Amino acid sequence: MSETDNYETAASRDGDFASFDDHKKGLLGHFHNALHTNPALVPLIVLVAAVIGFGILLGSRFLSPFALTLILQQVQIVGVLAAAQTLIILTAGIDLSVGAIAVLTSVIMGQFTFRYGIPAPVSVVIGLGVGTALGAVSGWLVSRVKLPPFIVTLGMWQIVLAANYLYSANQTIRSQDIEAEAPFLHFMGVKLQFAGATFTLGVIVMVLLVLILAYALKSTAWGRHVYAVGDDPEAAQLAGVNVHGTLMSVYMLAGFICALAGWVMIGRFGSVSPSATTGVIGNIQAITAVVIGGISLFGGRGSILGAFFGALIVGVFELGLRMAGADPQWTFLLIGVLIIAAVAVDQWIREVSS
C-alpha cells in the first residue's frame, strides 16, 4: 500500500471517541436535560402550579378534600381512556375509537344483563372481552395490513358507535333498575369516604392502572419494546423485537382498558346510555390529556404518568374555573393554549444538542 493511502492518519487520534461527559450547558441546559430524562416533569409542574393558583384564587373552597377528590371523580373516565390512548400513541399510533369502545362495552355489560338475564359479573367479563377483541381487530389492521392507525381507528370509531346505537336500539337502562337488579354493574361507583374526601373504586382503579402501566413500561422488556416500536419499527425489528406481537399486545390491552372505562362509566353515570358523550368526544379528551401530558405524537417518547397529570390538569381547570364562576368557554380556550404549549415544549425537548 502506498504512502498516499495513509492520508487519514494525519487526523489526530487522541480525541475521546466515546466520552459521555455532560457538556457545560448552564441552568437551562440542566433543565433541558432533566426534562429529557423525565418527560412527566412539565405536566407535573403545570398541575401543581394550577392547583396552587386556584387555591390562592378560591381558597379553602377549592383546596378542600371534597373538591380535590371531586376532580379525581370527574376525570376518572378520561383518565382511564388516556391510559389506553398513551399506549397507542407511544407506538406512534393514535386511537380515535377509545370513547366509542367504552360506550359500546358499557351497553353490552348492561344489555347482556337486562336483555338476556346473564349474571352481571359474566356480562362485565364479556364486555371486557369485546373491548379486547375490538382492539385486536384494530391492531391486526395496523400491524399486518399496514393501514395507518388514524384511518383504522377513524373507521372503527364510526363502526363501533353505529353498532352501539343499532344494538341498543338507543335504549337507556335506568340507574334505579341497575341498582335494584344488577348492582354489580355499579361496582366502580362504590364510594369510600375519609374525612370529606370521597374516592370511588373507579378512581382507585384509574390510579392503580396508571401505576401498573408505568411499572410495565419502565421496568419490563415489553415496555422497552413498546417504546422501541414507536421510535423506529424497522430498527426494533432488526434489533430482534417482535414488532407484530408488541403492536397486537398494545392494541388489545388498549381495547381492554377502554372496556374497563365502560364499566367505570356505569359507576360514574349510574345509567347505561348509548348516547353518552364519551362516545363522541372521549377520543379527543383522551388525546388532549396525553398531549398535555407531554407524550410525543410521533411515538416512543413520554411517560404515562404525564398523561395522568394531563387528565388531572384538565380536571383542575374545569372545576377551578367553574367554581370561579367563569364562562365554561374559558376552560376550552385555556386547554387549547395548553395543548399548543405542550407540543411546543415537546419539540424543544426533542431538539437535542450533541
Q: Where are the alpha helices (DSSP H) in the chain?
A: 26-37, 41-58, 65-90, 98-116, 120-143, 149-168, 175-181, 201-219, 221-231, 233-238, 243-269, 278-292, 304-323, 328-350
Cα(164)–Cα(162) distance, rounded to whole angstroms? 5
Decide: is 26 part of the binding site for other proteins (CB under 8 A). no
Contact 258, 105 (CB under 8 A): yes
Regarding 21 and contact with other proteins (CB under 8 A), the answer is yes
Q: Looking only at residues 254 through 313 of this chain, which bind other proteins when binding is defined by CB under 8 A?
A: 300-301
The grid coordinates listed for 44 are 407535573
Helices 304-323/201-219 angle, 10° precision? 150
Q: Does 36 bind other proteins (CB under 8 A)?
A: yes
Region of 105-113, 236-244, 273-281, 317-325 interacting with other proteins (CB under 8 A) = 236-244
Among 158, 170, 220, 347, binds other proteins (CB under 8 A): 220
β-strand partners of 192: 199
- CA trace torsion 98, 99, 100, 102 (10° rounding): 90
Q: Interface with other proteins includes 234 (CB under 8 A)?
A: yes
Query: Of the listed pieces 8-16, 129-137, 150-158, 256-264, which binds other proteins according to CB under 8 A?
Result: 8-16
First to last CA, the chain: 37
Please, what is the minimum distance in Å from the beta carbon of residue 284 to other proteins? Answer: 26
The 76-115 contact track toward other proteins, x by CB under 8 A, reads ----------------------------------------
Query: Residue 21 or 60: which CB sits closer to other proteins?
Result: 21
* Beta carbon of residue 244, minimum distance to other proteins (angstroms, whole number): 12
Give the C-alpha separation, 236 to 223, whole Å.
13
Segment contacting other proteins (CB under 8 A): 6-14, 56-64, 77-85, 154-162? 6-14
Contacting residues toward other proteins, per CB under 8 A: 1-2, 5-9, 11-13, 15-22, 36-37, 215, 219-222, 224-225, 227-228, 231-232, 234-236, 238-241, 300-301, 352, 354
